[in-house]
């Protein structure tokens, strides 16, 4: 504001002792002592309003936004004013909170809450994308299905709380064994799945072997909980690749599931065979 607010036609800064030119009615507001950047709204030769778009208080370190309007009559006579104050810091903090909440909701939409792995819906969407890419560009993608052996007996014997602890442990094992580019997921119940982009079946089988050994490791059983030492963990894995074994998502999953089931049958037929060695499904004859 200038010393004559009624003749104002360009933006001006006032405040901290320079507010003498402010209309008398505006001086009575709680913020009249603070710096104002006043912008006139002019139509023709008439100043219709003065707008204060932004304010930072040097005393309270409070960032606010002020929308102040002074209505000036046709002959330059003050008519009325309206001041609206918004706390920018509070609104900024609230906006940050909403963004963090939105990120958490997106995470819940794509992740399994128990294991922290991706959920079935996200897994299927990503596998569809990878299979399409493999068919279009000839770049292989492999999928591993991991089925825990005799997991039902764990729930029946030790209860679902221990079962949940073991599932969470398996989730950690899988995350530790896969690459950053891989997509590990809880497929459902006691089944897990991993998408291996740009990976042929031979490399996928090596990853499945590592997974089986990690699941069967003694340290893993101890980490699962107090009763974990007595639980003989093992998993049967089936590996399938596109385009080597199948060209559609359903066919790919069916091949991997068949191989996982075949591995489970072989272990039941040869119970004394080493768990880690039997957990990997060999190619169907």
Catalytic residue positions? 190
126 contacts 175 by C-beta, under 8 angstroms: no
Helices 160-177, 201-216: inter-axial angle, 10-degree rounding: 140
Q: Residue 147 CB: number of other CB atoms within 10 A?
A: 21
Of 48, 43, 52, 49, residue with least CA distance to 13: 52
8-state DSSP, 282: P
Length, in residues, of the chain? 285
**Distance from C-alpha of 277 to C-alpha of 213, rounded to nearest angstrom:** 8
Residue with tokens 């003694």: 218
The first and second tokens of residue 89, run together, are 């810091």
The first and second tokens of residue 195, run together, are 């998408």
Task: Calculate ∠ Cα 267-249-143, nearest 5°.
Answer: 45
By the 10 Å C-beta count (0-12 exposed, 13-18 middle, 19+ buried), 41 is classed as middle
| 162-175 core/surface letters (b: 16 or more CB in 10 A; e: else) | bbebbbbbbbbbbe
**Distance from C-alpha of 271 to C-alpha of 273, rounded to nearest angstrom:** 5
Contacts of 230 (CB under 8 A, 6+ apart): none
N-terminal to C-terminal alpha carbon distance within the chain:
89
């Amino acid at each position: 504001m200038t010393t004559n607010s009624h003749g104002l036609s360009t933006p001006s800064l006032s405040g901290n002792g320079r507010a003498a030119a402010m209309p008398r009615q505006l001086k009575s507001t709680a913020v009249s002592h603070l710096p104002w950047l006043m912008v006139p709204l002019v139509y023709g030769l008439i100043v219709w309003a003065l707008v204060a778009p932004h304010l930072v208080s040097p005393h309270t370190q409070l960032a606010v936004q002020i929308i102040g309007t002074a209505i000036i009559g046709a002959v330059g006579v003050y008519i009325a004013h309206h001041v609206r104050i918004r706390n920018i810091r509070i609104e900024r903090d609230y906006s940050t909170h909403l963004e963090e909440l939105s990120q958490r909701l997106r995470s819940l939409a794509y992740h399994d809450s128990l294991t922290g792995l991706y959920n079935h819906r996200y897994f299927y969407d990503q596998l569809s994308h990878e299979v399409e890419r493999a068919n279009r560009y000839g770049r292989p993608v492999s999928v591993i299905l991991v089925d825990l052996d005799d997991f039902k007996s764990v729930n029946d014997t030790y209860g679902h709380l221990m079962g949940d602890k073991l599932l969470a442990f398996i989730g950690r094992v899988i995350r530790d064994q896969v690459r950053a580019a891989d997509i590990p997921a809880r497929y459902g119940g006691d089944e897990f799945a991993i998408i291996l982009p740009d990976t042929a079946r031979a490399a996928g089988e090596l990853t499945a072997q590592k997974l089986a050994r990690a699941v069967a490791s003694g340290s893993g059983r101890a980490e699962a909980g107090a009763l974990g030492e007595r639980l003989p963990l093992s998993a049967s894995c089936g590996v399938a690749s596109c385009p080597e074994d199948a060209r559609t998502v359903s066919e790919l999953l069916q091949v991997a599931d068949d191989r996982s089931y075949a591995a489970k049958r072989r272990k039941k037929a040869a119970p004394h065979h080493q768990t880690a060695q039997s957990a990997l499904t060999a190619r169907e004859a």
